[in-house]
Structure 1
Amino acid sequence: MAEIHTLELGTMHNYVHLIIDRSSLSVAVVDPAWEVDKISTFCTAEGLKISAILLTHGHHDHINGVERLQQESGATVYLSRLEADHFGLNDKGWNSFEAPFQLQLGESEIVGVATPGHTPGGSCYHVDGNLITGDTLFVFGCGRCDLEGGDPRAMYHSLHRLLGEFAPETRVFPGHSYSTQATSTLAEERAGNPFLHCKSEAEFVEYRMLRHDQERSAPYGPVPRS
């Protein structure tokens, strides 16, 4: 059974998640950025080997530590092909995949699913009842869709895909510390995330693009259904 260890790093409150398989003492690091030495120090202290680096998307604040960590660890880097194409990352020598993507980490199987919206080729990673959601699903929030390549309509469908594909008790690990709690479950998100209360794609687009940032500010807490 994989376990998730989270480090909050950098000036943008990034969460870097480490998927740990104790049976093989191997680790997959999701979105390594900022203080790479803290990632390496933790793994060394725990006797763990970094064997994979998984990217949820290509924004600088999520990938600025990839090359250093790869050089130090020899880990293989994975991201979606759409994301590599969009951000011009095909010359990095990283492994690009078509979702759904599967990676065996010791006794644990990691599955990557396509979740466009924040970026064209965004991905989330599921392992043993845990869902690492990058900038797609935050605790009681969701990622911006107004940056280059963002698409609020795609985001609406990605969020509902996560709700439909994974069990309510699935634990959510987002890409930033923007909320009143570090993690939640999909059941908690369905009940308290106002983006998931929108009854249609059109309502979601209007709320995400026009109203949300005027009505709420971080740290985000749960919003009861009206």
Structure 2
Amino acid sequence: MIASTYELHTLRVVSGKLVNYCYVIVDRASRQAAVVDPAADYEAIAGKLGELRAELKLILLTHSHDDHVQLVHRLAERYAPEVRMSRKEIDYYAYSCTGLQPFDDGQRLTLGETTITCLVTPGHTYGSSCFLLAGDLLTGDTIFIEGCGLCTDRGSDAGALYDSVQRIKSLVRTDVRVHPGHAFGEPPGQPMRFLHKYNFYFQFDRKDQFVAYRMRHRDNLSLQYI
């Protein structure tokens, strides 16, 4: 997928029964690359970087859960990139790794000629974040095409997640494509207008109703995300 100054490549990676999506952003002019939430399959990620003849300069982390950071240390050892995570997430969970640098809400990072805006969107974790490019939004576990992240772990907050969803709805253009960390039916890359219409959590305009629905009990883990 190509948009303006960059290419965005989607990798579906599997660890046991858990399926994740991680992403490779490549600046078209410089061939500098960023990997978002590297997990599960080192060979797939390293192989994609080699196939694209891209130089890994950044690792971008939406949050600190293991299924989104599993391969940070291994990639950092091989490529020595900068590793970026929100200051709130780093401080709250005491996350650390080689090359780690914090970012704050609204901070802009550069990858060659490509600009990446960091949006701190708490709720799923204390400092969860999304990354906004010219035509794409990488959302980790904040929002999915079909739903939003769980709010059951330390530092999570369904009320904060409601605020984050409302912010995303108001801030991100409806033609921007959404790329989450997991999928539960619809493939990544749906435009934001699709979520406005079909993502149930986008329909709430009252925080108490959103929180009650998000925190309802589900026995089936795969359904808890929606």
TM over 0.5: yes
1:62 & 1:217 partners in 2: Cα distance? Answer: 17
Residue 144 (structure 1) aligns with = 150
Residue 203 (structure 1) aligns with = 209
Residue 114 (structure 1) aligns with = 120
Which amino acid is the alignment partner of residue 101 of structure 2?
N
How far residue 10 of structure 1 moved from its aligned partner, in angstroms, is 2.3
Tell me if the contact between 1:16 and 1:32 (Cα under 8 Å) persists in the aligned partners: yes
2:60 & 2:101 partners in 1: Cα distance? Answer: 10
Deviations 1:1-58 (A, max 9, x none): 2121010112221101111111111111001111112111111122111110000000
How far residue 77 of structure 1 moved from its aligned partner, in angstroms, is 0.3
Which amino acid is the alignment partner of residue 4 of structure 1?
L
Residue 101 (structure 2) aligns with = 95
3-state SS, counterpart of residue 191 of structure 1: helix
Which is further off, 40-49 or 179-188?
179-188
Which amino acid is the alignment partner of residue 209 of structure 2?
E
How far residue 148 of structure 1 moved from its aligned partner, in angstroms, is 1.3
Matching residue within 64, 72, 83 for 2:70? 64
Alignment of 1:8-47 (within 5 A): 8-11=12-15, 12-47=18-53
How far residue 183 of structure 1 moved from its aligned partner, in angstroms, is 2.5
Structure 1: where are the runs of 5+ without partners? 222-226
Structure 2: where are the runs of 5+ without partners? none
Change (3 A) 1:115 1:67: same
Residue 49 (structure 1) aligns with = 55
3-state SS, counterpart of residue 141 of structure 1: coil
Change (3 A) 1:219 1:147: closer
Deviations 1:144-187 (A, max 9, x none): 01111110000001011011111111100001122232221111
TM-score (norm 2): 0.91
TM-score (norm 1): 0.91
1:215 & 1:38 partners in 2: Cα distance? Answer: 30
Alignment of 1:164-175 (within 5 A): 164-175=170-181
1:155 & 1:69 partners in 2: Cα distance? Answer: 30
2:102 & 2:221 partners in 1: Cα distance? Answer: 36
2:8 & 2:194 partners in 1: Cα distance? Answer: 19
1:45 & 1:91 partners in 2: Cα distance? Answer: 26
Deviations 1:79-116 (A, max 9, x none): 01110112212465510122112111111100001100
Q: Percent of pairs identical after alignment? A: 35
Change (3 A) 1:15 1:217: closer
1:216 & 1:35 partners in 2: Cα distance? Answer: 23
RMSD value, Cα = 2.0
Matching residue within 2, 7, 20 for 1:3? 7
Structure 1 residue 82 and structure 2 residue 88: aligned?
Answer: yes
1:73 & 1:91 partners in 2: Cα distance? Answer: 14
Structure 1 residue 183 and structure 2 residue 189: aligned?
Answer: yes
